[in-house]
Structure 1
Amino acid sequence: MIESFLEHLRYEKRVSDHTLTAYRLDLDQLAKYLLFQYELATPETVTPPMLRSWIVSLVEEGLNPTSVNRKMATLRSYYKYLRRKSHILKDPTQGLSSLKTRRKLPAFVEEKAMTLLFEEVPFPEGFAGLRDRLLLELLYGTGMRLSELIGLEVGQVDTESRLIRVMGKRAKQRLIPISPSLARLLERYLPERVPDESTPALLLTDSGKATYPVFVQRTVKKYLSAVTTLQQKSPHVLRHTYATHLLNRGADLNAIKELLGHANLAATQIYTHNSIEKLKKSHQQAHPKA
């Protein structure tokens, strides 16, 4: 049933390979626990106390609440699928409560630091420097995910209309507008782009192959290290930066949701906390009674 469930996720829900791997690991981990503790061969015969016992064991091992909650989400999804397929009569996850977690504010780079990056930090001459700059400007100028950037193809870019068509999670497409300066950068880059084979990927390595996650992560970390002391210097930080700067400049939260490709507004609302923190600092610095 686990394999059947994963096939359902892959072909019907169209989840990413990364999500599939996580779900498989979670369910395999549960199956091993049940076999060791209760001599049960399959997770389908589990009872609510058994699931609570597994969750307690994860906490005792030192797993953080966020990771435990993610595993619980896997269980809920799995048993919901079994119930729908009539393999179980009762859902053993009903009544399970998520663990309390501290809400972490998304890390972002200050506007002045991003200005410094693109105006003062030197990029190498030739194709490599042009590619590095485009990579950073795409992440900061569109807020796309790392997987979306790597999957971006030449045919998805329209410099005349200043739009990029992005393939997001679960194969959902969205259009992201780009600035005139980013459109001009793309027009400079495209004639220099020479793939060593007929790859449609927009961003290429120095050898002409499509970029890959570690390449992008290294590039982002290298350049962000020149302008910020943030501990996190990842492509996702630039996505957070894009959203936070839009919100700080007065963008509508629903518009930001669409640009980021979030499924619901709750995922976008976390960026309002950064803006509130900024308002608090301004109040503390400026108000006589703060």
Structure 2
Amino acid sequence: MGRRGKLTNEELLMLKKKITDDEAFEIFFRDCYLRNLRPATIEYYKNEFHAAKKIINKQLVDCLQIDIETFILQSKQLMKVTSINTRLRALRSFYNFLSKNKHIDENPMRNIKLLRDRQKTIETLDNKEIETLLKTIRKQNSFIGFRDEVILLILLDTGVRLSELVGIEVNDVMENSIIVRKTKNLFERTVYLSDTTVEQLNRYIKIRGNVETDKLFITQDNGELKPHSIQTRFTKYGKDARITKRVSPHTFRHTMAKRMIVAGIDAFSLMAILGHQDIAITKKYVNLWGSDIERKHREYGALRGIKL
């Protein structure tokens, strides 16, 4: 057989040097650092890649679409749809990067879509539940209790994320606003406070006094307050107040969003306040509480009072 013709596709593949998973991870995470992604995002990628590889049981760079499909079917026996989609998003970022930079020939995620999941109801707190929660916190008559009351007021007033709250420093507090610097999308934003929150926050700062850390919220030993500690305390407050809903900083964020939507705020303003990067996320909130908006429209519609 002559050897004057072109090499077959199979033979060409044999000549091409294949990248290994370790090499792929190295260049992918290098790009992540160059783009200044948040440490939490990079850690998320690392955890999801490691977990996915254990299920797929082969080099990720060698995966085909059929491997990803098999991975999804196996994962459905092990975890919730939300968790599977979280993993698929990480893999999509990984394969899109490798494909764009021609480190792999075929993108196995190209035709893979996220799994459909039922839209869950987002729990929010009503006036009575918030009042009961505040009474429960105030019963302590302690520095920790007053600190947690101020935290609750700020979370409800501004909708800041827990990670953003713990990053606030004393110098970030203005007259009636707070500059949120450690944000999820790295864009600083200003959130505004009601008169009640301003009064209580000023009292807290006086009681807090001068300590070594610049962080606004501190422990009883004058150390930095950690997110897990806040989460744990509010879960306990919820149980003590006999509130059956989940009580957490994220519940307060949702509660704030709903109350502002019902009051008539537009989606773009709410997007700026909450620090969303994508208007679609904010619109999801608007759609969830559409019945409340419908009621507001009936009450305050522009045609009310006009004799037509």
Q: TM-score per shorter chain, which class?
A: 0.7 to 0.9
Deviations 1:43-71 (A, max 9, x none): 11221111111111111x23211211111
Counterpart Cα distance in 2 of 1:66 and 1:126: 40
Kindly indicate whether residue 25 of structure 2 is the aligned counterpart of residue 2 of structure 1: yes
Cα deviation for residue 228 of structure 1 reads: 5.8
| Structure 1 position 104, deviation (Å) | 0.9
CA contact (8 A) 1:109 1:238 kept: yes
Q: What aligned pairs does 1:44-193 form with structure 2 within 5 A after superposition?
A: 44-59=61-76, 61-118=77-134, 122-158=138-174, 160=175, 162-166=176-180, 167-193=182-208
Amino acid at match of 1:88: I
2:48 pairs, out of 10, 26, 29, with: 26
For 1:43, the equivalent position in structure 2 comes to 60
Q: Does 1:263 align with 2:286?
A: no
Contact 2:170-2:216 within 8 A present in 1 as well: yes
Deviation at 1:224, TM superposition (A): 3.3
Q: Does the 8 Å contact 2:138/2:149 carry over to 1?
A: no
Deviation at 1:210, TM superposition (A): 0.9
1:230 is displaced (CA, Å) by 3.1
Contact 1:154 1:202 in 2 (8 A): yes
CA distance in 1: counterparts of 2:127 and 2:79, whole angstroms: 35
5+ residue gaps, structure 2, are 1-23, 297-308
Amino acid at match of 1:79: Y
Superposition TM-score, scaled by structure 1 size:
0.85
- Is this contact kept in 1: 2:167–2:215, CA < 8 A? yes
Cα shift readout 1:65-90 (whole Å, capped 9, x = no counterpart) = 12111111111100111123221233
> Which whole-Å CA distance do the structure 2 matches of 1:216 and 1:272 have between them?
28
1:285 is aligned to none
Cα gap change, 1:223 to 1:274, in 2 (>3 Å): farther
Q: Cα gap change, 1:30/1:129 in structure 2, threshold over 3 Å: closer, same or farther? A: closer
> Which one has more relative contact order, counting CA pairs under 8 Å at least 6 apart?
1
What secondary structure sits across from 1:171 in the alignment? coil
How far apart, in 2, do the equivalents of 1:7 and 1:107 lie? 39
Residues 121 and 67 (structure 1), Cα distance of their counterparts in 2 relative to 1, 3 Å cut = closer
Structure showing greater Rg: 2
Query: Would you say how many aligned residue pairs link Structure 1 and Structure 2?
Result: 272
How far apart, CA to CA, are the structure 1 residues paired with 2:210 and 2:51?
42
1:127 is displaced (CA, Å) by 2.3
Question: Which residue in the other structure is 1:232 paired with?
Answer: 246
How far 1:270 sits from its partner (Å)? 2.3
SS state at 2:83 partner: helix
Q: Deviations over 1:5-29 (max 9, x none)?
A: 2343344142342x32332122123
Counterpart CA distance in 1 for 2:51 and 2:136 is 49
Letter paired with 2:206: P
2:190 is paired with a residue of what secondary structure? strand
Aligned-partner Cα distance in 1 for 2:68–2:288: 36
The structure-2 alpha-carbon separation of the partners of 1:126 and 1:188, relative to structure 1 and needing over 3 Å to count, comes to: same
Change (3 A) 1:67 1:121: closer
Cα pair 1:244 1:271 within 8 Å, conserved: yes
- CA drift of 1:125 comes to 2.5
Question: How high is the sequence identity, in percent, across the aligned residues?
Answer: 26
- Compared CA separation, residues 120 and 233, structure 1 to 2 (3 A): closer
1:226-256 deviation per Cα after TM superposition (whole angstroms, max 9, x unaligned): 5563331111101111101111111112111
One-letter identity of the residue aligned with 2:168? L
CA distance 1:7–1:146, shift in 2 (3 Å): farther
